[in-house]
Amino acid sequence: MKIAVIGAGSWGTALAQVLAGNGNNVGLWARKPEVVKAINADHRNPRYLTDAELSPAVVATTSYRDTLLRARGVLVVTPSSLLRGVAQALADVIDAEMPVLICSKGAEPETGLLPVDVMEQELGNRDRIAVLSGPNHAEEVIKGQPSASVVACSSEETALFFRDLLANDTFRAYTSADSVGVELCAAFKNVIAIAVGISYGLGYGDNTAALLITRGLAEMSRMVVACGGEALTCMGLAGAGDMVVTCMSRHSRNRRFGEEYVARGRTLAEFEADNHMVVEGAAACKTLAVLAREHGVDLPITDTVRAVVWEGADARKAAQLLFDRPLTTEFYGL
């Protein structure tokens, strides 16, 4: 069948290749005409994953209508800050039943709404809207290295549709009904990865990284439960799995931002200009604060990252203040 992929960044490109490898025709929407031209002529994305040769079944265009023509499903792989605009554009060209898989990670900056909620507001029919998350670096997925992810949706039929669409010999896909938990995990892990990156950049070691990861999982669990998700989701692929790979991998843009930029006094604007990538964790540490205030959840690591990235706090002093917090039980607030 034909499947549409909206967004030709690294993850969108990798997912388009997975879909094509599974025997589908793929319409890939890209914003820049030069990217479209290179993908269609040379079967390579000139900006992301440039070493990967793409299947001829991946056809790029700058037109939403052409991308979605005769498509049976659509994957949205754009930054979370752009999701509402994309949803509004899709509303004009898809019917009320087309399955939609959100592959963005983070909450809407102005409202704190999770991606499924944003899509439902613009498109309606929540049961056809799913979310994909897991420990998946595009650089490894596109090479066929063994990976896995989770598809979460309120409708089992929609979750199974996307599971079967993506799964193959090297990419395992599992299903879940907990879209709230999966989406919050996806947002949280990027924030904690920035914290881990900062800690390494300041000269701290693996013990500190493990401390931040496990306490980050505790923050994640408190928020997931408060928002109506399942604590067990935090122990799965979207939670612990994605947290570990995002915090520890050399491919992680969020860790790299913390380690090579924040810890050295460099800015978010410099990182994005140098790498042509959005640091989702930088936005998420602000949007998660909206949810924390709404639900009365304590997020000390997230608050510290926000203070350092957005409020000019000194990273080393902020780290010490975090470590000096009063002692408590390990799993408080659950």
- Give the residue from 270, 248, 246, 265 showing the smallest Cα distance to 308: 265
114 or 112, which is more confident? 114
User: Is residue 79 pLDDT above 80, yes or no?
Assistant: yes
Q: How far apart are CA 276 and CA 278, in angstroms?
A: 7
Whole-number pLDDT of residue 106: 80
Are the C-beta atoms of residues 191 and 212 closer than 8 Å to each other?
no
H runs (alpha helix) in 55-166: 64-68, 83-91, 115-123, 138-141, 156-166
Sort strands 147-152 and 129-133 into parallel, antiparallel or unpaired: antiparallel
Hey, is 163 helix, strand or coil? helix
For residue 40, give Cα distances in angstroms to 55, 163, 165, 190, 273: 10, 27, 23, 32, 26
State the amino acid at position 113 in one-letter form.
Answer: L
Give the pLDDT mean for 118-139. Answer: 95
The gap between the terminal CA atoms of the chain, to the nearest Å, is: 44
333 or 298, which is more confident? 298
Whole-number pLDDT of residue 112: 79
Give the pLDDT mean for 224-240. Answer: 95
Helix axes 206-226, 179-201, angle to 10 degrees: 150
Beta bridge partners of 27: 4, 59
* pLDDT category of residue 92 using cuts at 50, 70 and 90: confident
User: Is residue 237 pLDDT above 90, yes or no?
Assistant: yes
For residue 75, give Cα distances in angstroms to 11, 90, 240: 11, 11, 24
Give the pLDDT mean for 327-333. Answer: 86
Whole-number pLDDT of residue 133: 96
Give the pLDDT mean for 62-87. Answer: 94
Q: In terms of residues, how long is the chain?
A: 334
Exactly one of 2, 32, 143, 189 is catalytic; which is it? Answer: 189
Domain boundaries, the chain: 2-177, 180-323
Query: Under the phi-then-psi rule, with left for phi > 0, alpha for psi from -120 to 50, and beta for the rest, what region is 112?
Result: left
Are the C-beta atoms of residues 23 and 54 closer than 8 Å to each other?
no
Mean predicted lDDT score pLDDT of the chain: 94
Q: How far apart are CA 157 and CA 125, in angstroms?
A: 13
User: Is residue 205 pLDDT above 80, yes or no?
Assistant: yes
* pLDDT category of residue 227 using cuts at 50, 70 and 90: very high
CATH code of domain 180-323? 1.10.1040.10
Whole-number pLDDT of residue 81: 83
Lowest-confidence segment of 37-41, 99-103, 106-110, 212-216 by average pLDDT: 106-110
Q: Answer yes or no: same fold for 2-177 and 180-323.
A: no
Whole-number pLDDT of residue 171: 97
User: Is residue 116 pLDDT above 80, yes or no?
Assistant: yes
CATH code of domain 2-177? 3.40.50.720
Whole-number pLDDT of residue 331: 84
Verify whether residue 189 is a known catalytic residue.
Answer: yes
pLDDT digits (tens, 9 = 90+) for 299-325: 999 999 999 999 999 999 999 999 999
* pLDDT category of residue 32 using cuts at 50, 70 and 90: very high
Whole-number pLDDT of residue 334: 73
User: Is residue 242 pLDDT above 80, yes or no?
Assistant: yes
User: What secondary structure letter does DSSP report for 237?
Assistant: I
Whole-number pLDDT of residue 101: 98
Find how far residue 143's CA is from the centre of its chain. Answer: 20
Whole-number pLDDT of residue 110: 76
Whole-number pLDDT of residue 193: 97
